[in-house]
Chain A
């Protein structure tokens, strides 16, 4: 790698000097006298942080990252970045980086050798393989997720693997599968350039997906007319740009979506041709229903009734009806955690699809629903590789015998090796950890002791179990760990991420990780190989060889468990893993291209198929004839993965259902939690970046000024927030980052000194198993 860098620098300088020499000897002498102090090497990568997946270029000098700029050639962000992206390089250099493996001895974490750490983990697993689990992340690279999958599902065979994406995208996934028969959006970011109306469903994209927000509102700056409707439970930076702010009572989004459908059918303004040819209706429990029956179901969702339930005026509900009734309007719906972290997350995803299906506003440029992802590779790794308790790579599931066989063949494991019984999903896995059903857990690239809901319950006894934590900094989770493994971060390793719009983006290792820190992929392969050496049978493939073997381009085995081999710049384990995984992406038409194609691109949106001339073509809009190669000619828009008839989507008659916990006399406030623009998740990386930390050093509670006045609270006053599960002390912020609706508060979760998740509820959507971090009941008391 390094030799490569210096070679490029050299070529650049030679070219420069040649150009100058042409101008005459004197001039080149003058130029040569000045050292090229600012001469950097630049390499491309996707941003480390959010699911937008901006392209960055990383400036390197002396083996260090010294600058980060937006990649002008990236089709995602076209050169712009948010504050986190610009400062991503700083995340590598916090002074307390973990640089040595550690094992808890007599209650204290002490430095040990890698050998001792790997040996300790392998021996523990060898004793209790059935109750050992991996808890991973939507920030895992594709190679990391794929390795973890093979480790658990091919090796330990208990299927106990789930990622933090369960807490973030699971409702979107089940929503897609229920409506379209297959996961992930049909739309893409180009729709942001074409829409004339944007509706956000509980989504503060000005802070959470700022580059997508800019992409739309730069068009407004340029004079285009964009109507923005902000459906929300608090006023945010996004609201500043809104033409219509519609504040609704939490959970009534279910009724609002049904109300729009009701209006489309009542007025007869739905897209009749599209609905007749591409939509079938089903009752909530899955029985076929006619359009007339569906219309009957919607009767309860008339404007008057829904206005009373939701708090949105009848006029505004009609405005929503008008918007979707107008066949000329190009309406883009966007959402993220507001709809996904919801005890009826799957339903609300289905319902928003109903609105777009009835209006015929799907798969058209600028007129489509687009589910946004939170994490940089929630799509690429968790959803496509399938690092979920029930899933297998490429949209397969463990319950399906054919699917298991495909994967067993690619992994070359014994026929029948993969267990048909799904493992524990996230909340269940932590309940198991608390109860002892799970005896050991390996946590990678996430910080559950800060981010799980209802921490007192879900992290109880975590320190009594065999907890392995791979991370880059000390976190609240490493404090509970038995073994801590120091990991390589972002451009300290090779990687591939997949973002919201199905864009797969590759990067190379650019700098060395500090001290003893090593790649998460290597850590897993090394432990698996030690298990193999210990004689653990299931780490053998059909031929008795090591199950997690990787092979180079020539088909020769790479001894990847040896660090000196893995770390050799001439060896690229990530490439070998990616090219192996690729074979499994074709079944559900999520085709990805060979690794080398991504090396030369700024990411490609799948399906990526090879044309007759050998080049690879990406797909902007899925299910659309002319764009998606899998849509048969003459079909226009076809949901070809439909379980009904290979072309129709299902509109589900999902009712409104009250949330499990609502404010009452004792706990009178709604609590909503979330992120802020400066910080990424639990703040372990962004909290170590000076510029981001000083801008947002600690958590606070946003309150509505009316509530504050009633309770005689002023800006900066300390309050105690208490739920049935826990309590926390915070300072009040009035007219700050957001203004919650009267009777509700908002608290960000990035601050490890103020764990709002001790207060949150861990009730989850029964279909997606995704918890609701956006609503529970609390009381607020002034502290003197």
Chain B
């Protein structure tokens, strides 16, 4: 194979691997001509990168128990469940091009940039404020003394019985596009989806209105 073709194949596989990783045995359903070899290789790299430093703490392997043991990290990134997450990486004050990386899922430097579920809202930092910066102009006093206890993350989406599809445990507002968060490459296995080809999510996963609907008297 000539070098150019190799590069092209690698690019194709990079794009498709997102799709493949969560598909498990169903991966075979997708035909990608002669680049299959690279896909296998590439997808294993992605698996590794998704558990790379900084994200490993979030990854749960106990899928059977449906335990979301990534919670400590996820919770540290927002004040309460359904609050907008803070920005978990360095971002300069002048950096306003969030969508360069977050419009579609991107992986680099061992990290995964998730796609935004609401790309039509472009003034990102009006809700998502800088969070991870260890210091601001040499200042380290970043904590405040507070007794705030925010709403906790749900332990799991409710199931009527062991084989029933889990209900959606959160409001769909601003999260209408399920696959951006329930991406096949999400570092947390419990967030991943193993059947993305069934695009009509809500036909099986109905919203848990009792827990999520906001009824204002």
Which of B22-30, B82-90, B193-201 interfaces with chain A?
A: B82-90
> In the complex the two chains form, is A697's CB within 8 Å of B142's CB?
yes
Give chain A nearest CB distance to B128 CB in angstroms.
7
> What are 8 A-B interface contacts by the 8 Å CB criterion?
A38-B151, A39-B211, A69-B82, A71-B216, A93-B147, A240-B96, A693-B143, A694-B86
Give chain A nearest CB distance to B153 CB in angstroms.
9
How far apart are the CA atoms of A89 and B125 in the complex, in Å?
Answer: 19
How far apart are the CA atoms of A94 and B146 in the complex, in Å?
Answer: 4
A716 on the B face (CB < 8 A): yes
Closest chain B residue to A732 by CB distance? B137
Give chain A nearest CB distance to B93 CB in angstroms.
4
Contact A27-B215, Cβ < 8 Å, known A691-B78, A691-B129: no
Contact A12-B215, Cβ < 8 Å, known A90-B79, A214-B126: yes
The 3 closest A-B pairs by CB, nearest first: A695-B129, A95-B145, A210-B126
Give chain A nearest CB distance to B43 CB in angstroms.
33
> In the complex the two chains form, is B80's CB within 8 Å of A81's CB?
no
> In the complex the two chains form, is A688's CB within 8 Å of B123's CB?
no
> In the complex the two chains form, is A67's CB within 8 Å of B120's CB?
no
> In the complex the two chains form, is A69's CB within 8 Å of B214's CB?
yes
For window 107-159 of B, CB contacts with A under 8 Å fall at 119-123, 125-131, 133, 136-139, 141-152, 154-155, 158
Contact A221-B120, Cβ < 8 Å, known A31-B160, A716-B137, A736-B94: yes
How far apart are the CA atoms of A690 and B214 in the complex, in Å?
Answer: 26
Most chain A CB inside 10 Å of its own CB: which residue of B119, B139, B211: B211
By the criterion of a CB under 8 Å from any partner CB, how many residues of chain A are at the interface?
74
Give chain B nearest CB distance to A559 CB in angstroms.
29
Give chain B nearest CB distance to A66 CB in angstroms.
4
> Which residues of A are found within 8 Å of B74, using beta-carbon distances?
none
> Which residues of A are found within 8 Å of B65, using beta-carbon distances?
none
A109 on the B face (CB < 8 A): no
Contact of A695 among B131, B160, B212 (CB under 8 A): B131
List 14 additional A-B contacts (Cβ < 8 Å) besides A31-B160, A697-B136.
A36-B211, A43-B216, A61-B151, A66-B149, A67-B81, A67-B151, A69-B82, A73-B216, A94-B145, A94-B147, A214-B121, A237-B123, A678-B129, A716-B137
How far apart are the CA atoms of A219 and B22 in the complex, in Å?
Answer: 35
A249 on the B face (CB < 8 A): no
How far apart are the CA atoms of A9 and B178 in the complex, in Å?
Answer: 29
Residues of B bordering A, CB below 8 Å: 78-84, 86, 92-94, 96, 119-123, 125-131, 133, 136-139, 141-152, 154-155, 158, 160-161, 169, 171, 173-174, 210-212, 214-217
> In the complex the two chains form, is B216's CB within 8 Å of A688's CB?
no
A662 on the B face (CB < 8 A): no
How far apart are the CA atoms of A213 and B96 in the complex, in Å?
Answer: 15
> Which residues of B are found within 8 Å of A678, using beta-carbon distances?
129
> In the complex the two chains form, is B127's CB within 8 Å of A67's CB?
no
> In the complex the two chains form, is B146's CB within 8 Å of A689's CB?
yes
> Which residues of B are found within 8 Å of A94, using beta-carbon distances?
144-147
> Which residues of A are found within 8 Å of B141, using beta-carbon distances?
697
> In the complex the two chains form, is A694's CB within 8 Å of B93's CB?
no
> Which residues of A are found within 8 Å of B129, using beta-carbon distances?
83, 677-678, 691-692, 695-696
> In the complex the two chains form, is B146's CB within 8 Å of A93's CB?
yes
Closest chain A residue to B95 by CB distance? A735
How far apart are the CA atoms of A455 and B92 in the complex, in Å?
Answer: 32
Give chain A nearest CB distance to B23 CB in angstroms.
31
A72 on the B face (CB < 8 A): yes
> Which residues of A are found within 8 Å of B79, using beta-carbon distances?
86-87, 89-90, 689-691
> Which residues of A are found within 8 Å of B139, using beta-carbon distances?
697-698
How far apart are the CA atoms of A79 and B84 in the complex, in Å?
Answer: 13
Closest chain B residue to A86 by CB distance? B83
> Which residues of A are found within 8 Å of B83, using beta-carbon distances?
67-68, 86-87, 691
Contact of B148 among A72, A690, A736 (CB under 8 A): A690
> In the complex the two chains form, is A694's CB within 8 Å of B96's CB?
no
> In the complex the two chains form, is B126's CB within 8 Å of A42's CB?
no
Closest chain B residue to A687 by CB distance? B144
A741 on the B face (CB < 8 A): no
> In the complex the two chains form, is B130's CB within 8 Å of A38's CB?
no
Give chain A nearest CB distance to B131 CB in angstroms.
6
> In the complex the two chains form, is B146's CB within 8 Å of A677's CB?
no
> In the complex the two chains form, is B123's CB within 8 Å of A210's CB?
yes
Closest chain B residue to A64 by CB distance? B149
How far apart are the CA atoms of A436 and B84 in the complex, in Å?
Answer: 49
In the complex, per-residue mask of A397-428: 1 if CB is within 8 Å of any chain B CB, else 0: 00000000000000000000000000000000
> In the complex the two chains form, is A95's CB within 8 Å of B146's CB?
yes
Contact of A83 among B81, B127, B149 (CB under 8 A): B127
Give chain B nearest CB distance to A169 CB in angstroms.
23
A206 on the B face (CB < 8 A): yes
For window 678-711 of A, CB contacts with B under 8 Å fall at 678, 687-698, 700
How far apart are the CA atoms of A677 and B145 in the complex, in Å?
Answer: 21
Give chain A nearest CB distance to B177 CB in angstroms.
14
Closest chain A residue to B159 by CB distance? A30
> Which residues of A are found within 8 Å of B137, using beta-carbon distances?
698, 700, 716, 731, 733
